[in-house]
Chain A
């Protein structure tokens, strides 16, 4: 499954990094602790978080994350968006909370 498929099926908003919508999604990871993501997320994961600052892009890029999804209607900072465009890693958004989004994403990836 690709990032664009997830965007469509879960009705997510695309904030930035649209050039990366064809990235392949392998799995997902939910965490707001950056060291936890650094230590435990895997390449090709979609990362669900409420953090919006630029460092999430540094982590996403270093870990080859497929896309970031911000929950609860949060929006990425401007510097975060610029970095996302550069790295071509999409940042998407939803009004759902992490629990609900993770459940839906899990179902989608495992169906």
Chain B
């Protein structure tokens, strides 16, 4: 099963739309509630990262019996130092984004904690690709 959702940089009112849709789909598929919770946290953080930092992006979701694979691809500034970005508390978010309660440097750590497998590839000045895989049945 495949789904695709578009993300728009700066449009915070749409952030969470993909997560909300995926949550509904996983519920319908009777996936364990604890696993749904983890996936939703990771996907929401991924959406917010694109909205807060990039120009635009796309979320691609692929679900089979065993696992859910989510790929978030954006056109944006990229991440110069991924290890640094993974550190809790590190953030490059703007003041206005921080005022909304985002940009606390918890996004990528939250994503890592809540996915079974995370892969990040980024090119400065071009964009970032985030791939997250989580097992939905053993």
Which residues from chain A sit less than 8 Å from chain B, CB to CB?
A: 32-36, 38-39, 43, 49, 51, 53-56, 58-59, 61-63, 79
Contacts and interface: CB of A to CB of B under 8 A. Distances in A.
Interface residues of B, number: 23
Contact of A79 (B13, B44, B109, B113): B13
A53 to B, nearest CB: 6
Contacts of A63: 37, 40
A55 B104 contact: no
Interface string B102-138: 1010110110011000000000000000000000000
Contacts of B15: 55, 58
A69 B16 CA distance: 21
Contact of A35 (B13, B20, B23, B45): B45
Interface in B1-27: 12-13, 15-16, 19-20, 23
Contacts, number: 65
Contacts of A49: 101
A33 to B, nearest CB: 5
Given A55-B100, A79-B13, A38 B45 contact: yes
A35 B112 CA distance: 13
Contacts of A33: 101-102, 104, 106
Contacts of B13: 54-55, 79
Interface in B40-74: 40-41, 44-45, 48
Contacts of A54: 12-13
Given A36-B106, A39-B113, 18 more contacts: A34-B102, A35-B45, A35-B48, A35-B106, A38-B45, A39-B110, A39-B114, A43-B37, A51-B101, A55-B15, A55-B16, A56-B101, A58-B16, A58-B19, A61-B16, A62-B16, A62-B44, A63-B37
Interface of B: 12-13, 15-16, 19-20, 23, 37, 40-41, 44-45, 48, 100-102, 104, 106-107, 109-110, 113-114
Given A32-B101, A33-B106, A53 B41 contact: no
Contacts of B101: 32-34, 49, 51, 55-56
